[in-house]
Amino acid sequence: MALKQLAILALVALTLGACEEQRSRGASRHNIPIPSATYALMSEKGMNKDQPVLIRSYKKESELEVWKRKADGRYALLKTFPMCRWSGQLGPKVREGDRMAPEGFYAITPAQMNPNSSYYVSFNMGYPNVYDRSLGRTGAHLMVHGACSSAGCYSMTDDQIGEIYALVREAQNAGQRAVQMQALPFRMTPENLAQHRLDPNIAFWKNLKQGSDYFEVTRDEPAVSVAGSRYVFNGGSEPAEVAQKEHQDASRIAALVAKGTPAIRLVYDDGDQHPSFKRALAAGGAEALNRTASWASRDVGISREDALASGPRVVVLDDKGRAKATVRAASADENAILAAVSAAPVEEAAKPETAKTEPVKAEAAKPATKPVATPAMTQLARVQPGNAEPGPALASAGSAPVQDKTLLQRTLGFVPFFGGSAPDATQSAAPVADVAVQVPGTPSNVTAPLPPRRATNLRTSRLDSSPAAYASQFAGTR
């Protein structure tokens, strides 16, 4: 009898566990539970579900982090999620339809949470914020959502967004008024900043780094405001520890540049995804990844899977920010980028012509009784930079032998090297080399026209809406 009761209790426990972990659908999505494994992780790290959360995302690394504030008031990393898809390029979103995922500091309020999304669940980042509007930037409903498809959003798998949504919801239910999201182009390391030092967005990225540095040093979210079309953190005040980190990073960047770290710009075919998803895509194909990643979202497929077959193009820049060479990297991984740069063709500087020494015949050594005609090529060679002895002037057309006329014409073609108007070598196209297997049909130019979007319903045409209007706009969308 006791054995039978024990078996019944075990069956009930197993059933309850299965119910807890089952995927939420339909109207129950607003109450998606936090997975039991995440509860265990929070307990291990001294956290609970009610503590405030903070989100950090990185395009280049294709990762999204969830941080939680602990009892001592400092944030600690709870979990890092690989990102299934983001679109566009590194850099901020500027206008509606540019496919760019936003970069900056955003606040996610309860009104921006959408449990009725077409892409399982989602939350609105709050683009355009005050900073974006100060620069006249346009666009609306830029989300973090499910479905491995993006046209300007950060896209996670349905399981991932369900967990992230639940963590944010519980913190908001416990009183957190707004969750800060720090959307960054890459991890703000000296290595990344040294490589991207000549990118057109570098001033903006350095501004973002100020807020990022504050968080990394203090483990507290910075107070964010905007003045003079720049982010201002904590009213402009900066703790000594943050200033020290900025100084150390600047010294490290200078050392990396002095060691020869190349300046580069990354150009994506259309955004990227985490290497784990790229491997799954290569192994099983787009349909298999779509079934796994988007089990509860409207079926829109994997956006631009053709753009994910290889890594970005790496544009190697000279000291003035001009392209020297463009090579294809196997992936956005740091080692793959460095390998691509090392394989880039090296442009050698043009070397001045040097005079060729011809054997002197015996009779030429005798004193000449009258001027001896000197070939025009030899005369030009004698006035090359570094020769102390000036050569004689070019013979006039009348005194030159008839048979030397063609030689003289050829010689005059070298005159631009001595101050003429030679073609500017910088205007020639930069050499392109592929160090990874080229995707069939991939153009060799840096940018390419994008094919028609597979899912036109990923973006609306409306401009900025107030946070209060989000709730009424969300029904049946995202």
Q: Are 192 and 186 in contact (CB under 8 A)?
A: yes
- Tell me the mean pLDDT in the region 323-339: 94
Q: How far apart are CA 244 and CA 240, in angstroms?
A: 6
What is the secondary structure of 217-264 as a DSSP string? Answer: HHSSPPPEEEETTEEEEGGG---HHHHHHHHHHHHHHHHHHHTTPPEE
Distance (Å) of CA 385 to CA 216, 351, 358, 368, 422: 55, 11, 19, 28, 17
Q: What is the pLDDT of residues 118-141, one digit of tens each?
A: 999 999 999 999 999 999 999 999
Q: What is the rounded CA–CA span in Å between residue 37 and residue 53?
A: 18
Question: From the candidates 84, 141, 145, 148, which is the catalytic residue?
Answer: 145
**Residues in CB range of 3: below 8 A, 6 or more apart:** none
Residue whose entry in the numeric block shows the structure tokens 């991939």? 442
Q: What is the mean pLDDT of the chain?
A: 78
Whether 84 is catalytic is no
Residue 356 pLDDT greater than 70, yes or no: no
Contact 252, 261 (CB under 8 A): no
User: Torsion over CA of 461, 464, 466 and 470, rounded to 10 degrees?
Assistant: 30
User: Which residue among the candidates 84, 141, 148, 153 is catalytic per the annotation?
Assistant: 153
The torsion angle over the Cα atoms of residues 136, 141, 142 and 147, rounded to 10 degrees, is -160
Instruction: Name the pLDDT band for 172 (thresholds 50, 70, 90).
Output: very high
User: Of 69 and 403, which is predicted with more confidence?
Assistant: 69
The pair of three-digit structure tokens given for residue 118, joined into one six-digit string: 């077409």
Cα–Cα dist 84/150, whole Å: 9
Q: What's the pLDDT score for residue 345?
A: 83
Contact 243, 263 (CB under 8 A): no
pLDDT at 370 over 50: no
- Find tokens 């956005």 and name the residue: 332
Residue 372 pLDDT > 90 = no
Nearest-angstrom CA–CA distance, 225 and 395? 74
Q: How far apart are CA 282 and CA 261, in angstroms?
A: 32
Strands 179-184, 53-58: parallel, antiparallel or unpaired by DSSP? parallel
The rounded distance, in Å, linking the Cα atoms of 81 and 62 is 9
Instruction: Give residue-wise pLDDT tens across range 215-266.
Output: 999 999 999 999 999 999 999 999 999 999 999 999 999 999 999 999 999 9
Q: What pTM did the predictor assign?
A: 0.71
**Residues 36-82 pLDDT 10s:** 999 999 999 999 999 999 999 999 999 999 999 999 999 999 999 99
Q: Tell me the average pLDDT across 186-208.
A: 98
> Is 360 a residue whose pLDDT tops 60?
no
Residue for token pair 């203090």: 218
Give 80-124 pLDDT, tens digit per residue: 999 999 999 999 999 999 999 999 999 999 999 999 999 999 999
Which of 442, 118, 434 shows the shortest CA–CA distance to 305? 442
The residues, ordered by sequence, that sit 6+ positions from 168 with a Cβ below 8 Å of its Cβ are 53, 55, 108, 113, 123, 179
Residue 414: Cβ within 10 Å count: 15
Say whether pLDDT at 331 is over 90. yes
pLDDT 10s digits, 263-289 = 999 999 999 999 999 999 999 999 999
**Residue 191 parent element (H or E):** helix 190-195
Residue 240: exposure state from Cβ atoms within 10 A (0-12, 13-18, ≥19): exposed
> Residue 247 catalytic?
no
With pLDDT > 90 as the criterion, what percentage of the chain qualifies?
Answer: 65
